[in-house]
Amino acid sequence: MTNSGIKRSIVAASMFCVLSGSTASAQPGASSAELEALRRIVQDVIKQNEELRKRVRELEDTMSKRGQAPEAATKPGDATKDPATARATEPTPQVGKSAKDKIQLGGAIEVEVKKSRDFRGVHSSDLLLSTAEFDFEADIVDWAKAELSLQWIAPTNSFPATPDDKITVNEAMITFAKPSVLPFYLKTGRGVVPFGISTGTTVAARLDESLTITGPLTLEIFEAKEDHVLVGYKDHGFNVAAYVYNGDTNNGVREKHLEHYGFAIGYGHKGETLSFDVGIGWIDSVFDTDGLSTAFPELVLAPKKGYTPGIATYVRAGLFGFSFIGEYDSAVREAKFTRGGQQLRTQPEAWQVELGYTTTLFGLRPFAAFNYSKSYQMFAAFPKRRTLYTVGSWLSENIRVALEYNNEQDYNKAHRGTNRDSDTATLRLTYEW
């Protein structure tokens, strides 16, 4: 029975009570037996009315729990006759995609087989998991995105030593940008500041990946990963950025403050056959770079006269599968420090050149690369020279295999080195997603 039928039954029963009372009063000559029978009938009708009201309340409560109006429990065709009822039964439109549809997952696993001879002449070989990385990227709104990269670092005895397994935050950045409206953008969080080439890339195939397995000395010495905030401008190939950060270096006079800064200017183009990228960067304290702060802990406390700035310049180009890269990074003046009771001076610098070639053959993408990098005044904290010969192939869009021979020359004994060379052969399998 529908709600309308129930309500009509209640009304009919009430009418019957009234009519019954009127009939009884209109028959003064009725006997006591007839009056008693009429009284029982009225009581039955009242009882039925109470039961019907209770049933109506139960139906209304049930429908309200289901999120429906009581009137919406009629036939589907009846809902379109009443605009209010039709609105109540229409599904709620979706405002946008949910957060989980806007989160992208990625990562990489690298397995290596190595055979090496170090500067002391010690031979070794190993099979190891060299990299395990997991990346998240979220762009819930079209004017901001967040990036998080977690990386497991394998234990190693090389410099700097990492004796235990550990998981680190490789990058955690928030970017506010909407190029269709404004060419300006803002980035903040933990990441590599734009000083030099942060990935040692060749641009023949991919602007954000290196063809070599081992990075050049410029990357190891002058890359700077900091908690920073950056304001940039990017339009028509030009990219200008300025950033502030609080590094490890301190003037040793006052408490730690947010006082370090840098900027970078670049121009690039990426086409089907020709790609190029040139730029220059400046950082106010070059000993805040990851390699130099480790190599010269004495200079983390900067002299009272100020910090030692650094400058970096680079050019990358790719044409018809061939690639070229050149980079030069340096401190702009000497810095004095004391080590082992001896007064020393250093003006660290490094440069690199790389030639590469990538092609397509039998459904694969083989490549080859040669990289030569050199450092100065590093007091054997890093090699004096590094030469890389790399060949390999992308087996698919996300699987790569490469073989590399790495020959390094140490500093001489006058600069606290061994004046010997080392050799390392590495076979690496990389799976990215």
Return left, alpha or beta for 317; rule: phi > 0 is left, psi -120 to 50 is alpha, else beta: beta
Alpha helices in 283-372 (DSSP H): 290-295
Task: Give the residue with greater pLDDT, 205 vs 419.
Answer: 419
Which two structure tokens, joined as six digits, stand for 159? Answer: 């410099």
The pLDDT value given to residue 155: 64
Task: Give the residue with greater pLDDT, 56 vs 199.
Answer: 56
Sign, Cα dihedral of 217, 222, 224, 229: negative
Task: Give the residue with greater pLDDT, 211 vs 21.
Answer: 211
Burial of 122 (0-12, 13-18, 19+ CB in 10 A): exposed
In tens, the pLDDT along 351-404 reads 999 999 999 999 899 999 999 999 999 999 999 999 999 999 999 989 999 999
Element holding 221 (H helix, E strand):
helix 217-222
User: If pLDDT is split at 50, 70 and 90, which confidence band does 262 have?
Assistant: very high
CA distance 222 to 325: 16
Which two structure tokens, joined as six digits, stand for 175? Answer: 């970017």
- Kindly list the domain boundaries of the chain, sorted by start residue: 3-89, 101-432
Q: Are 89 and 66 in contact (CB under 8 A)?
A: no
Which two structure tokens, joined as six digits, stand for 286? Answer: 């070059």
The pLDDT value given to residue 329: 97
User: Residue 20 above 60 pLDDT?
Assistant: no
**101-432: CATH superfamily:** Porin (2.40.160.10)
| pLDDT above 70 as % of the chain | 75
User: Residue 201 above 50 pLDDT?
Assistant: no
How does the average pLDDT of the chain come out, rounded? 82
The pLDDT value given to residue 66: 58
In tens, the pLDDT along 106-135 reads 999 999 999 999 999 999 999 999 889 999
